[in-house]
Amino acid sequence: METFIHFFIILPFLSFFASLLIPKKNEQALSALAYTSVGLQFFTAIIFMVFWFIHRMPVITLKEFSLYKANNYDFFIDFYFDKITLVYLIIGSMITFVITIYSRYYLHRETGYKRFFNTILFFYLGYNIIIFSGNLETLFIGWEILGLSSFLLIAFYRDRYLPVKNAVKVFSIYRVGDVGIILAMWLSHHLWHENISFFKLNNSHLVHEHLMQNSLVGLSISLMIYISAAAKSAQLPFSSWLPRAMEGPTPSSAIFYGSLSVHIGAFLLLRTYPFWEFQTGFKIFLVLSGVLTAVVATLISRVQSSIKSQIAYASIAQIGLIFIEIALGLEEIALIHIAGNAFLRTYQLLVSPSVVSYKIREQFYEFVPRMKTIEDTWPKKFEYALYILSLKEWNLDSMLYSLLWNPLKKLGSGLKILNFKYVFYFAGGTVLIGLILLFFGDDIPAKYRHSLPVFFAVVGFLIVIKAFTERDSVRKSWSLIALNHLTIAIAISFNEHFDYVHHVWYLSGIAVAYLLGMYLLNRLRREEWVSLDQFYGHSYEHPKLAILFLLCCLGLAGFPITPSFIGEDLIFSHIHYNQIGLAFFIALSLIINGLATIRIYARVFLGPHIKTYHEVAKRSS
């Protein structure tokens, strides 16, 4: 049976890399590779399902290999298979198979045909890593892949303003979910003193024993898991991003935001259910959150003028009900509900381009007068208030901006000491002071030494805030992001056991990405004008440069293509459970530096081209 598990992981991996080698003009080969590989996986999954049932449905766990091991820290790749994985495997392979066949004709002669199939196969690789993951570390690799592929597909029409703008907005919410996973892993290290696997989580005696001693830590882990699940599945207060994600092509909307990606939050809750099933307070919170999301999303969906937005909010409402079912322990019902919602939303989104013609036919030939409902008995003021609130989408978008992003932007703009003239003196001086203090670390009194990690974490946070709010110099923003990583490394170095090997794991990928990215920016500046005050769309004339710089952005943000990805987990493994301030500011820094790097890429290479002799695309798709 282990051979099947390896096959389900390796096949998408090989398909994705094979798709990169096919010329973009060869549409037939690209689409054939996609639907053949996914179709093969679907039919193999059916055979494996029969085989698995014959063998009485054993739970399969495979610890593959350790990427890094030190002291009691072990970053290992682990795979796990049970009925939850089976349901997601069948749903995912079947829907992706249908979408690839549909897209073969729907996107015929589209400029980004190769880009679309590359990204779909990349997404499918991340999806399979998530559903087969046996621990949070393995799951996080697929989680990051899903976030990136989502950004690329929303910004598929990259010469238009709104798709690019909405792609950055969605990525910002995904980044919050990413850090939720990182903090959950950090707290798990302190709770279990190891990288706990999902197989061990099913040992109720072990879980109960640890939670009895650390109930507050257990509740914190559950809340971090909820934040990640809610961000990925568009639950309150993160619901507003899902309709904005519909700027991508219809097939990507169907596979991402109708069926597969949007249900990954529910998968995370199902997979971690043995951990929080006896935390009554958290379960009540999860039920209330699901009820509130279902009610609000249903009201919003009924007043939407766009069919895609209506489907998006209807899907959010159903996922709210799925969250309730998971909280109540109704695992089988939740899985059936997930399958039904995924197939229904896929069908609705695929036929959405034709819905106008369907509605016109209904008006002419099948018109039915509106029937009276219970809503007609409500007080009119209450009815109108609900209507206006729903039209404004309950101000969810503006609420996130006012509570999260606007304060950060105001803080960055208000840091006058970090203006263009002084910022590098400040950042460079801080790094130099930190290195000197590390050299004389043993001579520093203990009461001051314990406060140094938080001090440098706060300074690093201020540096990356300035990088995020920078409007002029691209190179300045790029350099400040790298300095933020260096400051984080110095902050953690004051904690014990963080030696030079850990610095190499964390900073090696950052250094390579920074230097290569700076070289590419300097090369682009010799030919074009670049800034951060608007979208410049340079990918139109410099596509190879855009791809290379995107890889540099991923490396600088800690994406799993360099050792820095493991380095981020190492950073948190050395933060003590009572250093909440340190963990908070480093987590915020990781959120912002990921946003700042993607913002640089989007502003420089995406959007309408700055040169007026190119055709100006419509703002929206």
Instruction: Please tell me whether residues 207 and 351 are part of one structural domain.
Output: yes
pLDDT of 56 reads 84
Closest CA to 39 of 124, 148, 112, 108: 124
Domain endpoint, select from 359, 376, 404: 359
Find out whether 504 and 448 touch, Cβ atoms under 8 Å.
no
* pLDDT confidence bin for 443, thresholds 50/70/90: low
Instruction: Please tell me whether residues 325 and 462 are part of one structural domain.
Output: no
Quick: pLDDT tens for 247-281.
888 888 888 777 888 999 999 999 999 888 888 89
- Phi, psi dihedral angles at 133 (to 5 degrees): -65, 140
Q: Is 396 contained in some domain?
A: no
Whether 225 has a pLDDT exceeding 90, the answer reads yes
CA pair distance 497, 492, nearest whole angstrom:
10
pLDDT of 264 reads 93
For helices 204-213 and 215-232, the axis angle rounded to 10 degrees is: 110
Q: Is 371 contained in some domain?
A: no
What's the average model confidence in pLDDT over 570-586? 83
* pLDDT confidence bin for 286, thresholds 50/70/90: very high
Instruction: Please tell me whether residues 347 and 439 are part of one structural domain.
Output: no
Instruction: Please tell me whether residues 150 and 45 are part of one structural domain.
Output: yes
Q: Is 621 contained in some domain?
A: no
The helix/strand/coil state of 73 is: strand
**Three-point CA angle 479, 481, 486, nearest 5°:** 95
- Phi, psi dihedral angles at 34 (to 5 degrees): -65, -55
Q: Give percent above pLDDT 70 in the chain.
A: 90
Q: Which of 33-47, 416-430, 438-452 shows the lowest mean pLDDT across its residues?
A: 416-430
Q: Is 405 contained in some domain?
A: no
Residues 6+ apart with CB under 8 A from 248: 153, 154, 155, 156, 157, 163, 256, 621
**Three-point CA angle 18, 20, 22, nearest 5°:** 75
* pLDDT confidence bin for 38, thresholds 50/70/90: very high
CA pair distance 181, 160, nearest whole angstrom:
32
Report the amino acid identity of residue 266.
A
- Cross-strand partners of 227: none
pLDDT of 545 reads 92
Whether 417 has a pLDDT exceeding 60, the answer reads no
Q: Is 616 contained in some domain?
A: no
CA pair distance 580, 224, nearest whole angstrom:
14
pLDDT of 616 reads 67
Q: What per-residue string of b and e applies to 232-267 under the rule 16 or more CB within 10 Å gives b?
A: bbbbbbbbbbbbbbbbbbbbbbbbbbbbbbbbbbbb
Q: Can you list the positions of beta strands (E) in 16-94? A: 60-70, 73-81
Residues 6+ apart with CB under 8 A from 399: 237
Find out whether 540 and 605 touch, Cβ atoms under 8 Å.
no
Quick: pLDDT tens for 479-537.
889 888 888 888 888 776 666 777 788 888 899 999 999 999 999 998 888 888 888 88
- Cross-strand partners of 60: 81
- Cross-strand partners of 66: 76
For the chain, the C-alpha Rg in angstroms (whole number) is: 25
CA pair distance 446, 71, nearest whole angstrom:
24
Whether 620 has a pLDDT exceeding 70, the answer reads no
Whether 154 has a pLDDT exceeding 70, the answer reads yes
Taking the CA of residue 71 as centre, how many other CA atoms within 13 Å lie in the half-sphere pointing to its CB? 13
pLDDT of 39 reads 93
Closest CA to 250 of 105, 373, 446: 105
* pLDDT confidence bin for 18, thresholds 50/70/90: very high
Q: Is 342 contained in some domain?
A: yes
pLDDT of 401 reads 76
Instruction: Please tell me whether residues 147 and 229 are part of one structural domain.
Output: yes
pLDDT of 551 reads 92
User: DSSP states of 316-381 as a string?
Assistant: HHHHHHHHHHHHTT-HHHHHHHHHHHHHHHHHHHHHGGGHHHHHHHHHHHS--PPPP-GGGGS-HH
Q: Which of 280-294, 298-312, 317-331, 545-559 shows the lowest mean pLDDT across its residues?
A: 298-312
Whether 617 has a pLDDT exceeding 70, the answer reads no
Whether 415 has a pLDDT exceeding 70, the answer reads no
DSSP code at position 401 = I
The sign of the CA dihedral 264, 270, 276, 277 is positive
Instruction: Please tell me whether residues 314 and 424 are part of one structural domain.
Output: no
pLDDT of 553 reads 92
Find out whether 524 and 530 touch, Cβ atoms under 8 Å.
yes
CA pair distance 426, 418, nearest whole angstrom:
7
CA pair distance 208, 58, nearest whole angstrom:
24
What's the average model confidence in pLDDT over 120-147? 91
Instruction: Please tell me whether residues 308 and 429 are part of one structural domain.
Output: no
The tokens describing 118, both together, are 């590359």
- Of 247 and 427, which is predicted with more confidence? 247
Domain endpoint, select from 359, 392, 424: 359
Element spanning 257, H or E: none
Instruction: Please tell me whether residues 482 and 353 are part of one structural domain.
Output: no
The helix/strand/coil state of 440 is: coil
For tokens 């046996």, the residue is 134
What's the average model confidence in pLDDT over 574-602? 87
Which residues constitute the domain of residue 354? 2-359
Instruction: Please tell me whether residues 123 and 204 are part of one structural domain.
Output: yes
Instruction: Please tell me whether residues 456 and 584 are part of one structural domain.
Output: yes
Find out whether 506 and 485 touch, Cβ atoms under 8 Å.
yes
CA pair distance 452, 132, nearest whole angstrom:
41
Quick: pLDDT tens for 168-199.
888 888 888 888 888 888 888 888 877 788 88
Whether 289 has a pLDDT exceeding 90, the answer reads yes
CA pair distance 422, 416, nearest whole angstrom:
9
- Phi, psi dihedral angles at 302 (to 5 degrees): -75, -15
Quick: pLDDT tens for 47-64.
999 989 988 888 888 876
Instruction: Please tell me whether residues 262 and 147 are part of one structural domain.
Output: yes
Q: Which of 94-103, 107-116, 362-371, 475-484 shows the lowest mean pLDDT across its residues?
A: 362-371
Residues 6+ apart with CB under 8 A from 311: 258, 301, 345, 348, 349, 352
For tokens 């520093």, the residue is 444
The sign of the CA dihedral 588, 591, 594, 600 is negative
pLDDT of 424 reads 66
Quick: pLDDT tens for 335-383.
999 999 999 999 888 887 777 677 666 666 666 777 777 777 778 788 8
Domain endpoint, select from 334, 359, 384: 359
CA pair distance 481, 381, nearest whole angstrom:
51
Instruction: Please tell me whether residues 443 and 347 are part of one structural domain.
Output: no
Q: Is 365 contained in some domain?
A: no
587 Cα distance to chain centroid:
15
Find out whether 544 and 617 touch, Cβ atoms under 8 Å.
no
* pLDDT confidence bin for 540, thresholds 50/70/90: confident
CA pair distance 76, 136, nearest whole angstrom:
10
Residues 6+ apart with CB under 8 A from 374: none
23 Cα distance to chain centroid:
29
* pLDDT confidence bin for 129, thresholds 50/70/90: very high
Q: Is 407 contained in some domain?
A: no
Find out whether 256 and 148 touch, Cβ atoms under 8 Å.
no
Closest CA to 604 of 505, 517, 485, 482: 517
- Of 159 and 324, which is predicted with more confidence? 324
Domain count, the chain: 2
Taking the CA of residue 19 as centre, how many other CA atoms within 13 Å lie in the half-sphere pointing to its CB? 30
**Three-point CA angle 554, 556, 561, nearest 5°:** 50
DSSP code at position 245 = G
Report the amino acid identity of residue 443.
D
Taking the CA of residue 55 as centre, how many other CA atoms within 13 Å lie in the half-sphere pointing to its CB? 12
